[in-house]
Structure 1
Amino acid sequence: MDVEILSRIQFAFTIMFHYIYPPFSIGLGLIMVICEGMYLKTDEKVYENMARFWTKIFATTFSIGVATGIVMEFEFGTNWATYSRYVGDIFGSPLAAEGIFAFFLESGFLAVLLFGWNRVSKRTHFFSTCMVALGSTMSAFWIVVANSWMQTPTAYEIVGTGLEARAEITDFWAMVFNPSSLIRFAHTVNGAFVQGAFLVISISAYYIIKNRHLDLAYKSIKIALGVALVASLLQPVLGHEHANVVAEYQPAKLAAYEGLYESTDHASMYVIGWTDPETEKTYGIEIPGMLSFLIAFDFDHKVPGLKEFPKEDWPNVNLVFQTYHIMVGLGMLFIALTAFSILALKRKNLHEKKWLIYILIFSVPLPVIANQAGWVSAEAGRQPWIVQDILRTSDALSKAVKAEEVLFSLIMFFCIYLLLFFAWIYILDKEIKHGPEDAVTSYSHRKERLDMFEDKDEE
């Protein structure tokens, strides 16, 4: 394989592995805020134990996410130096903002979150939890801004010519709020809420089937199912708005989403299927006219097909088509699964449906797959452009890097990341089996001990 293919595989592997963890952190952050907020409101010990336990799970996941995210920043300099030189003035700005305004906020309050339970007041600790959760979300915002500018570049000018040419920002805030940034941010974070909630659902269901920590398990699964259902219902709405932006600014990507080769005024939407770029045909179960209707609320709206664009500008159509439909299909499954589970909770017979509990336990990889598939369809759909209509991926490579060097580093990353993954699974398994009951001393218990010591001093 040549250096371009290897570099793309390496970056795809490292970023997809890294992206296992941030959605868990963002989703768990919301769950932690809800649990600790309930503790403040009710002063019930179970909510404190819930907050403490999910904080431990959060910390384990957050640490792996930070470690795996650093690698990608170096890849911009090693494998994609031409890209970094050409658009680094723009792409580097939101990355710097992420470090200053989000990561420092998150990491600054993380120590209070983890070690301040018995050292600060309940309200101060709750504030630190909120700031860590906000920092996780704001990190996502700036990363999505940088990526969205690559999808819908605005507020820039090309300075210089030839090898000295580079893109520079003309308006920072116009770059930040480019046409796709806000809707992609909402869609991304909402998907993270689903993923984090399903981790809580899975662990809580495990405790229910094992008949352990039942008070915590039922309260946790109730909160997580509520978060997952609301987020899952909201996701198709956000996805529809995102698709409208894609239709306007990246019509070739939209055509690949639905395997549409010929421009048509009654474009179908496929529920499931297969597309063949060689014969330029798509087969499967389709809803006639639905794509046209979703884009313009008009069944006769004309949607451009892939043949409207040069063939060298086509993405990998079948990859984009399949990953997009995997994401959508799993999203529909999440709505059905969470709604049915909440109904079982309301009827107080969830514990009787062991088949459902086992499904909930083993459902945790599904949101990960859905989020990964969504990003693959978004990124592969932009190809062959690394920055839409400005810079091709083949032109963004480093001039000095060699294929064998990329292959060696890819193998090395694979081995290291595999070890990190198993370490994360091992620690997670250990924390789950240990459970939340030995969590530590609550505020109320700490006060009782202090009062006891004061009484002894008086004696």
Structure 2
Amino acid sequence: MDALILARWQFAITTVYHFFFVPLSIGLALIVAIMETIYVRTGNPLYKTMTKFWGKLLVINFAIGVATGIVQEFQFGMNWSDYSRFVGDIFGAPLAIEALMAFFLESTFLGLWLFGWEKLTKLQHLVSIWLLAIGSTISSFWILAANSFMHQPVGYVINNGRAEMESFSALLTNGHLWVQWPHTMFAAISTAAFFVLGISAYHLRRPLADEAKELFRRSFQIGTLIGIVSTLGVVLAGHAQSQYIIKVQPMKMAAAEALWESEDPAALSLFTVASEAEQRDLFAIKIPGMLSFLTFNRFEGEVRGIKDLQAESEATYGPGNYIPSVFLNYWSFRGMVGAGTLMLGLAAMALYMLARDKIQSPRMLALLVPALGLPYLANATGWIFTEMGRQPWIVYGVLRTEDAVSPTVSTGMVLITLIGFTLVYLVLMAATAYLMLKYATRVPGETATVHAG
């Protein structure tokens, strides 16, 4: 392996680690804010206990999210200096705004919320958690504004071999941003909803005192209502994003469907075993016309295939391989869609349980406990598909990944840091899993001293 491959592996591993925690922080901050709002409006102490229970898990997750995120920006300078040199004037602006505006907002009001239970008024304390939730949302916007430029570069000019920002408003109105951000936000909220559902289902299967049972029953209700809305949002926003991407990054969606030849109408692949070397299907189960329907909202219309897009790219950018890994994109896309579909079905089941007063059904509750892991599968595979489908470009159509790596960083240097970061992150993840398991499985009444505020 050379330094380029190792640098890509290092960034991929640390990013996936980090993205395990970010969606939960964003979504759970919103849910905890809703719970505390109910407490302030009703004065019911049960909701205060509920807020503290889920808030403790939010704090644990937020802390590890910050720890794993610090390394991300350092890698731009260490392993990807040519990328930073080329696009830093553009990419750095939204990241700087994110740090100055959103991260400080999050961290400041997280501290006020955590330590201010007896020092702030109810309203002041409530405002603190809402500002934390708003800060998390703003943070995601600025980070995705930077990321969307890599997928659809806009508002820039090339001067002296470097990209310079020409229009900040173009960066903020980037079409890719406005299909990616809603999809990511709904995914984050659904992650938190299933987190609440899974843990509530775990407790509701156990013998509990009446107060604890009521706490998790109401948590289950909140998780269900937010879960059904957010998973529907993920599906609708994801569909809009796919229709947009097939216009601006057609090769990505062709790889996601293992679509070798252009088709009109185009069939949707349910299961395909393909030979990338021969660029053909070995075995496939497809629904005729369905890919055209999903793309154009009608059962006709040409969807361009990999071979035609490769020829078009060579004519535009010169000789080279412009085909991303079909295997990785095909299966990561199906991992994301499959997990999301299961989540929608389980959210509907949870809503049925509430409507039919079957919230104590052991079998249904048993299904919801492991379902807690589905959003993590969807988030990880979705992020892999998003980034790998862009290859061989690090800035689509402008800068190739192979031209972005640091020229003076040796293979040995990257290998050492790759192993080091992977092991350190593994330890951090294990510690987080231990703390989450420890506090999530405790009944709030049994941990009154821990949660006392």
Report the equivalent of 1:380.
388
Structure 2 residue identity aligned to 1:302? E
Aligned 1:173-188 pairs, distance under 5 A: 173-188=169-184
TM-score w.r.t. length of structure 1: 0.93
Deviation, structure 1 residue 21: 0.5
Give a deviation string over 1:21-43, Cα, whole Å, max 9, x none: 01110111121011111112221
Match status 1:24 vs 2:24 = yes
Report the equivalent of 2:257.
258
SS in 1 for 2:29: helix
Report the equivalent of 1:455.
none
Unmatched 5+ stretches in structure 1? 447-459
SS in 1 for 2:321: helix
CA–CA distance in 2 between the matches of 1:366 and 1:284? 26
Contact 2:340/2:374 (<8 A) preserved: no
Structure 2 residue identity aligned to 1:203? I
Deviation, structure 1 residue 220: 0.4
SS in 2 for 1:350: coil
Aligned Cα RMSD in Å? 1.6
Report the equivalent of 1:210.
206
Contact 1:86/1:167 (<8 A) preserved: yes
Aligned 1:42-441 pairs, distance under 5 A: 42-160=42-160, 165-212=161-208, 213-282=212-281, 283-310=283-310, 312-351=321-360, 353-437=361-445, 438-439=447-448
CA–CA distance in 2 between the matches of 1:179 and 1:343? 37
Contact 1:205/1:360 (<8 A) preserved: yes
Deviation, structure 1 residue 338: 1.2
Are the structure 2 counterparts of residues 285 and 225 from structure 1 closer, same or farther at C-alpha, using a change threshold of 3 Å? farther
Report the equivalent of 2:313.
none
Structure 1 residue identity aligned to 2:387? E
Which ranges of 4 or more aligned residues in structure 1 deviate by more than 6 Å? none
SS in 2 for 1:158: strand
Contact 2:335/2:381 (<8 A) preserved: yes
SS in 2 for 1:315: coil
CA–CA distance in 2 between the matches of 1:274 and 1:65? 37
Contact 2:203/2:441 (<8 A) preserved: no
Report the equivalent of 2:39.
39
Larger Rg: 1
Contact 1:157/1:170 (<8 A) preserved: yes
CA–CA distance in 2 between the matches of 1:284 and 1:112? 56
CA–CA distance in 2 between the matches of 1:349 and 1:309? 52
CA–CA distance in 1 between the matches of 2:39 and 2:177? 35
CA–CA distance in 2 between the matches of 1:137 and 1:172? 20
CA–CA distance in 2 between the matches of 1:202 and 1:302? 42
CA–CA distance in 2 between the matches of 1:214 and 1:434? 13
Contact 1:49/1:439 (<8 A) preserved: no
> Comparing 259-268 with 385-394, which one deviates more in the overlay?
259-268
Structure 1 residue identity aligned to 2:325? N
SS in 2 for 1:386: strand
Give a deviation string over 1:127-168, Cα, whole Å, max 9, x none: 1110001111111111111111100000000001xxxx1000
Contact 1:86/1:166 (<8 A) preserved: yes
CA–CA distance in 1 between the matches of 2:406 and 2:450? 54
SS in 2 for 1:259: coil
Contact 1:194/1:367 (<8 A) preserved: yes
Report the equivalent of 1:454.
none
Deviation, structure 1 residue 346: 2.3
SS in 2 for 1:274: strand
Structure 1 residue identity aligned to 2:376? V
Are the structure 2 counterparts of residues 232 and 274 from structure 1 closer, same or farther at C-alpha, using a change threshold of 3 Å? farther
CA–CA distance in 1 between the matches of 2:133 and 2:93? 23
CA–CA distance in 2 between the matches of 1:298 and 1:430? 51
Structure 1 residue identity aligned to 2:22? P
> Comparing 96-105 with 269-278, which one deviates more in the overlay?
269-278
Give a deviation string over 1:247-282, Cα, whole Å, max 9, x none: 111111111111111111111112333333223234
SS in 2 for 1:397: coil
CA–CA distance in 2 between the matches of 1:53 and 1:198? 16
Contact 1:274/1:322 (<8 A) preserved: no
Deviation, structure 1 residue 293: 1.6
CA–CA distance in 2 between the matches of 1:180 and 1:433? 40
Are the structure 2 counterparts of residues 421 and 6 from structure 1 closer, same or farther at C-alpha, using a change threshold of 3 Å? same
Structure 2 residue identity aligned to 1:326? G
CA–CA distance in 1 between the matches of 2:285 and 2:143? 36
> What count of residue pairs does the alignment treat as equivalent?
439
Contact 1:21/1:65 (<8 A) preserved: yes
TM-score w.r.t. length of structure 2: 0.94
Deviation, structure 1 residue 211: 2.3
Structure 2 residue identity aligned to 1:97? I
CA–CA distance in 2 between the matches of 1:439 and 1:128? 23
SS in 2 for 1:134: helix
Are the structure 2 counterparts of residues 434 and 297 from structure 1 closer, same or farther at C-alpha, using a change threshold of 3 Å? closer
Deviation, structure 1 residue 439: 4.2
Contact 2:258/2:272 (<8 A) preserved: no
CA–CA distance in 2 between the matches of 1:276 and 1:96? 44
